[in-house]
């Protein structure tokens, strides 16, 4: 149990385009989902915390107008990178916290974004 999927696994896009990444909890309901970014050889960096039905809470330094997060249901959250630029190329990982368990976060497999 407790499986989180992400789609797509990897994406290559041109500079200036927008990319949407989906994160789904497959066998549990997730009232909270987290979006992370990880550059090579660096630690995971929390971008935002997403609660179902409410606006996401962004970490300091993360542009909310550039990284649009929608958490419309208990099993789906989306991250849209708008007007992507090469510096946005990174590994984006989502995690989900089960609604009745505030502790463990279950991670998706990640999405590798390359902006040309």
Using the rule CB under 8 A, is 104 a contact of other proteins?
A: yes
Q: Kindly report the number of other CB atoms within 10 A of residue 111's CB atom.
A: 22
Closest CA to 58 of 72, 47, 69, 73: 47
3-state SS of the chain: helix, strand, coil percent to 5?
5, 55, 45
Give the Cα separation of 29 and 34 in Å (integer).
Answer: 14
Which of 7, 11, 22, 46 touches other proteins by CB under 8 A?
46
**Closer residue to other proteins, CB minimum distance, 24 or 97:** 97
Using the rule CB under 8 A, is 43 a contact of other proteins?
A: yes
**Closer residue to other proteins, CB minimum distance, 54 or 103:** 103
Using the rule CB under 8 A, is 8 a contact of other proteins?
A: no
Using the rule CB under 8 A, is 77 a contact of other proteins?
A: no
Minimum distance of other proteins from residue 107's CB (angstroms):
4
Spell out the residues 6+ positions from residue 112 whose beta carbon is closer than 8 angstroms to its own.
9, 10, 11, 91
Using the rule CB under 8 A, is 105 a contact of other proteins?
A: yes
Residue listed under structure tokens 């463990």: 104
Using the rule CB under 8 A, is 42 a contact of other proteins?
A: yes
Q: Give me the residues that bind other proteins (CB under 8 A), please.
A: 34, 41-46, 49, 91, 93, 97, 102-110, 112
């Amino acid at each position: 149990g407790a499986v989180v999927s992400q789609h797509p696994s990897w994406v290559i896009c041109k500079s200036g385009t927008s990319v949407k990444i989906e994160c789904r909890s497959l066998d549990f309901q997730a009232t909270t989902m987290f979006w992370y970014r990880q550059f090579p050889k660096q630690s995971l960096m929390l971008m935002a915390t997403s609660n179902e039905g409410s606006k996401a809470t962004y970490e300091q330094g993360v542009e909310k107008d550039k990284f649009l997060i929608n958490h419309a249901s208990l099993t789906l959250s989306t991250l849209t990178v708008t007007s992507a630029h090469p510096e946005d190329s990174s590994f984006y990982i989502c995690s989900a916290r089960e609604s009745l368990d505030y502790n463990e976060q279950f991670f998706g497999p990640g999405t590798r974004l390359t902006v040309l």
